[in-house]
Each structure stands twice: as structure tokens, then as C-alpha cells.
Structure 1
Amino acid sequence: MCEVPLKSLSKLAPLFALLSLAACGPGPTALPDRPMLTGARPGNYKETEATELARNFAIHGVDVSKYQGNVDWMAVHEGGVQFAYIKATEGGDRIDPKFLQNWNGAKAAGLPHGGYHFVYWCRPWQEQMALFEKTVPSDPGALPPVLDVEATPTSPTCPRHLEREQTLRDIKAMLVEMERYYGKRPIIYTTVDFHEAIFYGNALGEYPMWIRSTKHRPSVKYGDRAWHFWQYQSDGWVRGIPTRVDRNAFYGDTKDWQVWLKTNGFASN
């Protein structure tokens, strides 16, 4: 699908007003009328409709894994990044080798941070949650955990065709367990194809959603689906990170962000 250049960001404000978060718990009351970046998007990058629209949001963050190498978290925070999600586990037996280094570094820098689990569809959900709980500290000051659910049809070890109803039951079971263990409503991260196949009809709409859309505004592929986080770029450059990195925006202004942090128990060092 071709990209559509934007002539005026201010004309898009009514579109964002349609994205109510009533179904996702605490959320913003309104979006800013103009960019409020204050250094939240450092570095050079190729503009797309998504990156340009992301300027409407005040709060920006990154998500990282071993592929980002050795991160200087103090530089990341000082460069304007306001939150980080860190890969912790995958399936039932894989721990990201940089998890503890990233977790401790982000915490030492006073940066709001949380862990995420990448679901492997050929392991029982109980084993996956046991590994995540063993790996990610139950820290009252951390951000809510994230369940990363994506289709993996080309996986050499798990080319499983996902049946919607069973998949939703497994996802729900993992979310319930995450909330039981960490005491916070977890977040679902997903992609366009998975959302179209599994989450249509606002399935599991009671959970905050983190969506991926790196070319266009969320409504192009997700319709009126409510969301809390938007992964709008996969190849950004950020101060303190030696490789390209995913960048994300929070749905809301600075006040909404502070409310959300307080609701989820984040305490800065």
C-alpha cells in the first residue's frame, strides 16, 4: 500500500479523537493539538506517515532485546526516551541474554521499564509463564508485563496453524496468570496480521493493546481498536543504543502518562 504524504498534522486531530480508551482502563482524556516532543525522538530516520503522525504524541519509548547490544541507559534516558520495554523470555526455555543487564541498567537510570514475553505456540502456556515469572522480577515499581503474540508461519520448529478460539483461550490464560503474579493488568503486543486473524471484533478488548504499524496511522489497519501503545518505527536511531531500535508512542499527553504510571505503581529512583 502506498504512503500518503501529510500536508497538515493539525487536520488529523479529529481522527485521533475517535480513539477512545474506555475499554482499556486508565487512559487519556484528549490528545495534544500540536507536537510535544521535547527531545523524545532523537536521531535521524526516514519519515513515513507513521513517524510524522507520531509527533502528535508527547511520550515516546523503545523496546529492546539482545540485538541492541550494550545499551547506555543513562544516555537513553537523558536523550528524551521516557519508557522502555525489555525482552525477557521466549517460549518455555529461552531467556534473552541481555535481559538482566538491560533491566538493571534501565532501573539504575530511573527509566520506567517493563519486561515482555514472546509466545512460542508449540509449548504449553504454563511452561512459558513459569519461565517468565522466574526471569522477570515482581517489582512493584516496574511497568506492567507484556505478552507478545505474533503469527510464526515460517518457524522451522513450530509451523502451527492457529485456531482462533483455542488461541484466544491460551492468550487469556497467560494474561490472567501474569496479572495474578505481578498484580497489574498486562498489555498485549500484536501485529496487523495477527490482529486481523485473531483479535477482530475487539476480542480481549478489556486488556490494554500495544499495536505495530510502521507505515500508517493505526486506524488504517486496526480500525477503531483502542490502544495504549503504538510501535511506529522499527529502524530508529536513539542516543545510547548502538543499533537501530523500535520506537513507540503512548496514547495520551504528559498528564495522562503520569496518571498511568501512578496507577501502575511506578516509582522513580
Structure 2
Amino acid sequence: MARDRIHLRRRAGALAATAATLALTCATAAAAGPSGRIASLPKGHDVSSHQRNVDWPAARSGGARFVYVKATESTGYQNPYFHQQYDGARDAGLIRGAYHFALPDRSSGARQAKYFVAHGGDWQPDGWTLPPALDIEYNPYSAKHPCYRLGWKRMKSWIWSFSDEMVRETGRRPVIYTTAHWWKQCTGDSHAFASRHPLWIARHGSSGPGRLPGGWQSWTFWQYATAGRLPGDQNLFNGSSSGLRTFAADW
């Protein structure tokens, strides 16, 4: 997901040249985006503090119709650019939503949901505000513990705790952003969430979202690349433009 990255130094000489070539190839593929029928779906992106002050009119002119903006992480981080990004997107005519980056080893799901609500998206059924989103994926702070030291049962309980608190606070269950591999590894490919939570699937560099996790029969959003024509990560909505507006208003 779009967030602050640690930029590692690259080797010089031939390795640097090879890396540059590969980066150019990947960027070109990402810019091209999906092909065929799926390419006609409403386009969007997601951003964080990594993108700083986004030129929202330019994003709108570039094809963006929706965006998710990182608001919070755990209970100790707020995106310092959140209001510029969230309000700026709305002012430019984009449907926008806010997402929370989960760190399940830091505090309970309910506590993180409350923190998200306190610093998040002012949710209301106005046709311009997407439901809250939970970004739950690999642990960015420990490659050795991708599931945050939680077993399947505890991870599922954590997600339910977050989801139940979001319902109490906003009236709507969150969209769940994840990958099929993480979901299988860290929840046992649980089917318990599919019927009540829209899916935001992350699968990059492919012609389609691939196998969906945990009993989901369809995806709502697909993050298909980490770079492209729009600032941040590149996404599609699985429906029409009017369907996107309905999704933002269907509370």
C-alpha cells in the first residue's frame, strides 16, 4: 500500500544500469494498465504522506474518479497531508475514502478503529465518501513476523474487533484491503468476512486480480500497480461510474 518507504542505496556500475532498465520496464507496464474490458472500469488510486501535496485537478484530468487516502496507522500515526489530500480530492470532483493501516501487534482492533474514526474520514452517505477501509497485510516492520505474531484465531478476532467498532462508530463495515497470499497465511483463508466486507484485492503486474481469498466471489477494488499515470498506487472499481457513486452512498 502507498506509505512512506525506506529507499535503499543501489549498487553502482552494471547493477545500477540493470536496475534502471528493469524499473523503466515496470513503470511502462504499470502506466499502460490492464487491457480489454477491465480497462474501461472507473480508475482510481490510493495515496499517503509519500505523495505529499497532490495536484488533484491534474489527477482528475488524468482519469482519476476515486481515491483512498491513508489517514492513520496503529494508534500513533496520522498522515500529515491527510486533509490536503482528502479535502483536495473532494474539491476536485473525486469520490474519496480514508484507510487505516493495521498493526495488530500494537493494540486491539477496537482501539485502532476508534483512533481511525477520531482522525479519519468524517463518513456520511453523501455519494462522495467511500466506506472506511482496513489495510491489513504483511508486517512492514518485521519480515520474520508477517502475521504480527498472531495465529489464525487471534488474527480473525482482531479483524472482527476492528470491524465491529467501525460499525458502531460509522454504521458501515470496512472494505478489507489485502492479498490472497497474506490472507491465507495469516487467517487460514478464513471465509468469515466475505459476506459482510467488500474486498480490495492487491495483485500487481498481472492481467487480472487472480484467485480471490477467503470465500469472496467478487472484488470491489483491485490495486493492480504501485506506479502509473496517477499519484500513488493504481486501482480500478469493479462496476460503472454510477455504481461507484451508489457504493459511496449506500449506507
Quickly name the TM-score band, shorter chain normalised: 0.7 to 0.9
Q: Is the 8 A contact 1:138 1:181 kept in 2?
A: no
Match of 2:123 among 139, 142, 145: 139
Alpha-carbon distance, 1:199 to partner: 5.8
Counterpart Cα distance in 2 of 1:80 and 1:170: 36
Q: Residue 83 of structure 2: SS of its match in structure 1?
A: helix
Amino acid of the residue matched to residue 207 of structure 1? H
Q: Which moved more, 1:85-94 or 1:67-76?
A: 67-76
Q: Residue 92 of structure 1: SS of its match in structure 2?
A: coil
Counterpart Cα distance in 1 of 2:188 and 2:104: 16
Counterpart residue number, 1:32: none
Q: Is the 8 A contact 2:203 2:210 kept in 1?
A: no
Counterpart residue number, 1:10: none
Q: Which moved more, 1:174-183 or 1:62-71?
A: 174-183
Q: 1:251 to 1:207 in 2, by over 3 A?
A: same
Match of 1:218 among 202, 209, 216: 209
Structure 2's unaligned 5+ residue stretches are 1-26
Q: 2:247 aligned with 1:260, yes or no? A: yes
Task: Please list the CA deviations of residues 47-69 of structure 1 after superposition, one character each: whole Å capped at 9, or x if unmatched.
Answer: 59972357444211010001112
Amino acid of the residue matched to residue 236 of structure 1? G
Counterpart Cα distance in 2 of 1:202 and 1:58: 27
Q: Residue 227 of structure 2: SS of its match in structure 1?
A: strand
Q: Residue 76 of structure 1: SS of its match in structure 2?
A: helix
Q: 2:83 aligned with 1:83, yes or no? A: no
Alpha-carbon distance, 1:168 to partner: 0.6
Q: Is the 8 A contact 1:187 1:207 kept in 2?
A: yes
Alpha-carbon distance, 1:192 to partner: 3.0
Q: Residue 200 of structure 1: SS of its match in structure 2?
A: coil
Aligned length: 216
Counterpart residue number, 2:18: none
Counterpart residue number, 1:204: 193
Q: Is the 8 A contact 1:175 1:186 kept in 2?
A: yes
Counterpart residue number, 2:84: 101
Higher relative contact order at CA 8 Å, sep ≥6: structure 1 or structure 2? 1
Q: Which moved more, 1:86-95 or 1:225-234?
A: 225-234
Counterpart residue number, 2:48: 65
Counterpart residue number, 1:171: 159
Q: 2:141 aligned with 1:151, yes or no? A: no
Q: Residue 45 of structure 1: SS of its match in structure 2?
A: helix
Q: Residue 223 of structure 2: SS of its match in structure 1?
A: strand
Counterpart Cα distance in 1 of 2:179 and 2:225: 13
Q: 1:151 to 1:189 in 2, by over 3 A?
A: same
Q: Which moved more, 1:177-186 or 1:57-66?
A: 177-186
Q: 2:28 aligned with 1:45, yes or no? A: yes
Q: 1:137 to 1:192 in 2, by over 3 A?
A: closer
Q: Is the 8 A contact 2:30 2:226 kept in 1?
A: no
Q: 1:102 to 1:186 in 2, by over 3 A?
A: same
Match of 1:232 among 224, 233, 237: 224
Alpha-carbon distance, 1:262 to partner: 3.3
Task: Please list the CA deviations of residues 93-150 of structure 1 after superposition, one character each: whole Å capped at 9, or x if unmatched.
Answer: 1111111211121122221111100001222223312221110142313210001101
Q: Which moved more, 1:47-56 or 1:207-216?
A: 47-56
Counterpart Cα distance in 2 of 1:49 and 1:200: 32
Calculate the aligned-residue CA RMSD, in Å: 2.7
Q: Is the 8 A contact 1:57 1:250 kept in 2?
A: no
